Amino acid sequence: MEKVTINTLKEMKKAGEKIASLTAYDANFARILDEARVDIILVGDSLGMVLQGEATTLKVSMNDMIYHTRLVKRGCQRAMIVADMPFMSYATPAQALGNAARLVSEGGAEVIKLEGGSVVADTVRHLNEYGIPVCAHLGLTPQSIHKFGGYHVQGREQKTATQIMNDAELLEEAGAVMLVLECIPQQLAADITKKMTIPVIGIGAGSKCDGQVLVLYDILGITERQPRFSKNFLESATSVKAAIENYITAVKSVHFPTADHQFD
């Protein structure tokens, strides 16, 4: 079984092959995702909401992330494992290095993900110098939910759209190996994806990104409220595995997301 690596994802971007990603938080779901041939498993700090029942991701700890990443690692052989750095675990480059090293060595993460633009560029550069690959995250960044005043689409105004584009370029220059764009207008996401040489994964960012990521519990209809950018794939499937396979097929064939799942 060929392991998915950064080079695999770069080749997929070059070839125009869509990248399919889902979250997982334990070994059993990780195994099912892996067997369905998902490309990336994201151990998201979304676990604070979908597993712990919190209103935001802000209470998730470093120990939580290490624990759940370790569980996912046990169930995964092929997919790349990306793990979130939780709120305030990377306030300085030095703090980020210590925590990222734990997430890699104790948890088994292969790439760590952190949120923010220019403010984290030095941190991305620092981690890159120490050989820790970083996935950047722009647009709606859930750890800044109080700053945004809620879960709102970002980048609709010219000023913020320009800032997101500039931040994307800066983070790639700093050494980010991937970029997640969340809840931004589909045309802005398309422009960023075209400009970047690194893979760009969208969530509520339209179909022109190099790939898509969703929260597993959303596509299985488990969460209380279905986000507009997501879809319940279990409704038309005969099993959990079939729902996951249908999601992957829909992403790969560009049948998801549709206009109903993106923003203008």
Known catalytic residues are 182
Which one, of 146, 252, 136, lies nearest residue 198 by Cα? 136
Q: Is 245 helix (H, G, I), strand (E, B) or coil?
A: helix
Strand partners, 181: 138, 202
Q: What does the block give as tokens for 164?
A: 């997101």
Distance CA 166, CA 182 (A): 16
Strand partners, 84: 113
Which one, of 125, 19, 24, 151, lies nearest residue 81 by Cα? 24
Distance CA 4, CA 125 (A): 23
Residue 243's identity, in one-letter code, is A
